[in-house]
Amino acid sequence: MRTEECITTELVREFVMAAHGDLEKVQELLAESPSLLHASYNWGGSDWESALGAAAHVGRKDIALYLLEKGARMDIFAAAMLGELEVVQAILVAQPEALRASGPHGISLLQHARMGGEQAQRVFEYLTVIS
């Protein structure tokens, strides 16, 4: 029988905040509380953000890749920031409306690609053409 780890809202907030720019803190918190990997924090107004979402919209590839390596679920916003053109295209073929979806804090898919810099340039150009 599996026992579920209880994580507090405050701990989730701390983890998501760390994912905006502190890889060491992310590693430390995740080692202590593995359930944080799939947790999301509600900033209010149904603005939910996971650690992967945080890393993606600020362009922290190192944190995003670490979280994915640990088992975080890839989403279109992280894929765009990481320059995963084939993943972005596959999602948009299956769900064309995702092109206009907003990520955490209402940040667009195109902005996530922009945050990926040179590595995500092909994704940025693709999204610009189809928008």
Q: Is 108 helix (H, G, I), strand (E, B) or coil?
A: strand
The answer to whether position 2 is within a domain reads no
Is residue 52 within 8 Å of 71, Cβ to Cβ? Answer: no
> pTM here?
0.93
Domain membership flag for residue 101: yes
Q: Could you report the per-residue pLDDT of 46-95, keeping only the tens digit for each?
A: 999 999 999 999 999 999 999 999 999 999 999 999 999 999 999 999 99
Percentage of the chain surpassing pLDDT 70? 96
Residue 3 has pLDDT above 90, yes or no: no
Q: In CATH, what number is assigned to the domain containing residue 59?
A: 1.25.40
Task: Report residue 4's pLDDT band, with 50, 70 and 90 as the boundaries.
Answer: low
- What per-residue confidence (pLDDT) applies to 70? 99
User: Is 45 part of any domain?
Assistant: yes
